Structure 1
Amino acid sequence: MPNKQEYIQKAEQEFYKTYNRYPVIFDHGDGVSLYDTEGEEYLDFGAGIAVMGLGYNDKQYNEAVKAQVDKLLHTSNLFYNVPSIEAGEKLLTASGMDKVFFTNSGTEAIEGALKIARRYAYNKAAEEKRGEGCVHEIIAMRHSFHGRSLGALSVTGNDHYQEPFKPLIPGIKFADFNDLDSVKALIHENTCAVIMETVQGEGGIYPAEEEFLKGVRALCDEHDMLLILDEIQCGMGRTGSMFAWQQYGVKPDVMTVAKALGNGVPVGAFLASGKAASAMVPGDHGTTYGGNPLVTAAASAVLSIFEERGIVDHVNSVGGYLWEKLEELAAQFDCITGHRGRGLMQGLEFQMPVGPIVQKALLEEKLVLISAGSNIIRFVPPLIIEREHVDEMVRRLTAVLE
């Protein structure tokens, strides 16, 4: 069997170079810990980029997925399957939305949401305002992140990601997050939607301000536009409610979700309510794998476990403790210049790039952290962490910072 370095060399030869990976090969996980091929244990505060909400090796979840593997993996969307119907019902109940479409990823969920917006505008437009001659515009936010496909990239407000792939899809305008006037300034008769993350993740862990989100909701109502909220990272209990927008007293017309929905199995969804739920007709959108029995059995298990174990209440309890400990850390080190977030989605801003801190924490303290942008450490651990795990994380990170 090859050793660790031989595996890494093989990977460097085989894989298309998209990520700069750390020199660790994880072999298995249990609870909030990961174990590498050499048997070393790591405390995980990244959760596979906010995916592993239930942590690793959850027996109830594993049994549900294994049982479905033995029954049926795929039939296509030409037929019904029970796991997708059960998962759909649970997701609609948790969100209060009306319709759901299961996808393979968060990026694909964004694509579906954008198509709903354009289709809605097309449906209500007069004949002379349909087709290539009229572009129905969408307002997105600067410093946002929605995915890597051309459609999702078009509404991602970061020139660094966009520049090599221009021209992107037309009709996208960018406002400033938490600046309602900047949104108002972009609205005209051809604007059909506003899309934003309820809590910006990659852009630096910035929650929407209540006045801003309610103001955008009011603008969408006034101008008959759709409000699309990206809950791919901040949804599924991470911020202290099942979906972050539920803390604001607003409801989107379209919502996207993924990551923790599958707890490691690749599944996402876009959901619509009210006037948006009937915008698209059969043939407007499709997917071969989306919503297949395997991934929706996983999603169904996740949604059941969340309810049975009170995961959201647990996030509120431990998230408050994490906030206190990160506040203490920020007071202790002058290099920390900011602290933001909600629940178990928090960030510490530093006055220098955090890449070396993240790598040193991983390799020397066996602590898994991830960044958001260049100078922010993002804390998105499994939602099952306890206070003792927060204490241990702070101890290890303190050792690095000292």
Structure 2
Amino acid sequence: MKTPPLTLAEAQSRLLALAPTLAVDHREAADCAGFYLAETLTARRNQPAAPMSAMDGYALRSADAAGPWQVVGESAAGHPFAGAVGPGQAVRIATGAVVPAGADTVLLQEDCVREQDRVMLAGESPRAGRHIRPSAMDFAQDADVLAKGTRMGAAQLALAIAAGHRLLPVRRKVRLAIIDSGDELRMPGDACAAHQIPASNGPMLAAMAASLPCTIERHGPIADRRDALVAALEAAASADIVVTSGGASVGDHDLVRPALAAIGAELDFWRVAIKPGKPLLVARRGHQLILGLPGNPASAYVTGFLFMLPLLRAALGSADPPPRPIPAQLATPMDRGGSRMEFLRAVWNGTTVAPLDLQDSGALTPLAHANALIVREAGADAIPAGSTVPVYLLENGASG
């Protein structure tokens, strides 16, 4: 009896459990954008290391709140005042400068009047702790600042460096090979007869993967011959992950599975109950994982989004590899769902989302104009406008 297709959740879970384990590198923090931490990061210093002024003004004692004060020096960022503040004294202080010993408040420059070395109150009276960032306000030495599996963006890199780290523990880049196959495919820019099309899936999948730390090699387009596909798979033997596009279905010219058998790869699962993208397969060859995506471009994109990108994130050490939907209000009604979970190409305007009219898996125009995928559950009832639906947001440039 034929095994039924897996659900999306089952297929993603099985795939991610097979993600290759990559060696940990210690890279310069400034070169770690897009990587995921392989270990929890702890602070090696306090931030701030000493009490700092949050504003420009005068550091003084709150006990002398009425003033006036005698200015005895200056504390600038990187140039602290060497002495201590005594009764009736003040130190001119800049934002980010160390608060001198003896001072416990900062009087804003707009709340006072200065005449030569004498400062007089002209506004709100200073209070203890006012406009001072205490030591370790941001983080304390030995505190956890970033969890294992965190993706390093601009703010995370700044935090890691501020916490005293020059090198960060991250997984090495994924070695990814992309193979697109089909007799109908021609190189981009080549003339195409009526029975031929430009090979767009390989560049599309490579562009998707380029958002993550990968080294990408491309093979193809490959002819629909088993020996050609076997040769391409052998040429990609050093890759951690191989992604094929096309040839994963059941037709006479769909040769991915026979080619996998020829190289000794073991099929883990095949077919997922989603639309588009049902003929998806996963196989293993030693430590290498092979992900077979459908050949129709919208199917390849959707399965690349739902499977290839999460697999790459998992291999890189992400704490949460799958994409997560957000709730959005439906702008137009949707028909009853079919027998499979569907992912409708759609446009989200920040408030409402509307499915595009053309949903054919071979159509690239709606895919290029979409910035979201609406999830329609299998067998779902018709959904009226104004209803809340789950939506995956895409980063394909359509909304930018």
Shared fold, TM over 0.5? no
If asked which structure has higher relative contact order (CA below 8 Å, sep 6+), I would say 1
- Structure having the higher helix fraction is 1
Q: Which has the larger radius of gyration?
A: 2
